[in-house]
Amino acid sequence: MNRSLYSIALYLISPLLLVYLAMRAFKSKDYRGRWSERFGLIPLKQTDLLVHSVSMGETLAAIPLIKQIQLQHPELSITITTTSPTGSAEVVRAFGSSVQHCYLPFDLAWCAQRFVKQVSPKCCIIMETELWPNFIHYLKQASTQVLLVNARLSQKSADSYRKHHKLTAPMLKLLDGIAAQSQQAAERFVALGVATERVTVCGSLKFDINIDKQRIDIAKTLRLQWLAMDKPVWVAGSVHPGEFDALIAAHKQLLAKYPNALMVMVPRHPEQFDAAALAIKSAGLTIVRRSKGEPVQLETQVVLGDTMGELLTFYGAADQAFVGGSLIVHGGHNPLEPAAMGLPVMMGPHYRDFNEITELLASAGGLKVVDSGEALAKNLIQLFEDKRAYNQASVAAKGVVEQNRGSLTKQLAVVESFING
């Protein structure tokens, strides 16, 4: 399928996009507005630099890079787009009115063309692998320099690109530069037809996570408020339906050994908060919902983290962490945030989106791959019992983050070469 057939196919299924938005809106109030942005129907100002960062994870990685660009180029006007409410919230929190912000429209040809015509950026930075054929086509028609930054490409994604090469190969060849997270990703892009000189291995921006003292102080205070200084505390972060039952079962096993243990469960998406609460209550566990401001009592067994932007603080208030989206076939989420806090980390076997990072942490001894709630409970108990093993895992996790810092400087250098050029 080439781009013309792709565009026709999108037009044919476009009514389903409205159905999709309606279904998301039914599940989450965060999807009940701003539909016009999804179709490029809002007035926008012309911008010098356009940054697209998809969802919360990509946005958090992009924030330090964008702040450095703002510092070095205060004269540049910047527009940041996302596709999810969680990513949007992070943009607003980090930049306020200092940037223009909206959702990236669907890749329908007329939506992409109208959007690009309005913002008409001199340079566009796309985070990770959020590549849309019409979007990139119209950017290049507008003579925009297009960079793929913090780029990752799993073997599965590379195989998919190869399968649809008539659509993807021309798109990849339009990219002016790629700052790849790893040598493996760089080699996969080159194998798909990207010129070698356009690809630079820079490491992952996610290693350059910056945890300020204020965040750590807030986390310590939170643990005090939870009456949890002398009890085992673990976080199940960025978890999805399909994982809830295994996590609850693991916590019940932990409670059998440590009756005062506390689990902090943080679903990935807001529309999953109520389902998580119901699963916890149905299992007979005592729950406090963070959003309601209820105090954590000595008998509280689970804190449901049903707020936005607090996951890193929760990690700082805990002893161990499980990172979700990995017990189900989803691709996993970022294990570096708890690792940077010095927490031993666990993930399920489905971590393809963070393959290199997960294996690096695992080989150093800072991360354990578990395939069930029972295996998760066993590892939690082992590390709570064995302080020496716990400390080794903690030091290893934090060490991997520290040893791999520096990607921000490298990726910024790639971006600067295009901004200044």
For residues 194 and 219, membership in a common domain is answered with: no
Helix (H, G, I), strand (E, B) or coil at 154: coil
Average pLDDT, the chain: 94
In a domain, 91, yes or no: yes
pLDDT value, residue 20: 87
pLDDT value, residue 348: 98
For residues 7 and 153, membership in a common domain is answered with: yes
pLDDT at 421 over 70: no
For residues 39 and 152, membership in a common domain is answered with: yes
Q: Which position among 37, 58, 243, 337 bears the catalytic label?
A: 58
Say how many C-beta atoms besides its own lie within 10 A of residue 364's C-beta: 18
Catalytic site includes residue 299: no
In a domain, 208, yes or no: no
In a domain, 223, yes or no: yes
For residues 365 and 322, membership in a common domain is answered with: yes
What is the phi/psi pair of residue 355, to 5°? -60, -55
| CA–CA dist 313, 301 (Å, integer) | 19
Q: What pTM value is reported for the model?
A: 0.84
In a domain, 159, yes or no: yes
In a domain, 351, yes or no: yes
In a domain, 275, yes or no: yes
175-196, pLDDT tens digit by residue? 999 999 999 999 999 999 999 9
pLDDT value, residue 301: 98
In a domain, 266, yes or no: yes
Q: Encode burial over 21-58: b for 16+ CB neighbours within 10 A, e otherwise.
A: beebeeeeebbeeeeebbbbeeebeebbbbbbbbbbbb
For residues 67 and 9, membership in a common domain is answered with: yes
Q: Encode burial over 151-172: b for 16+ CB neighbours within 10 A, e otherwise.
A: bbbbeebbeebeeeeebbeebb
For residues 382 and 274, membership in a common domain is answered with: yes
| CA–CA dist 410, 179 (Å, integer) | 8
Q: Angle at the Cα of 130 (from 66 to 151), degrees rounded to 5?
A: 65
Domain count, the chain: 2
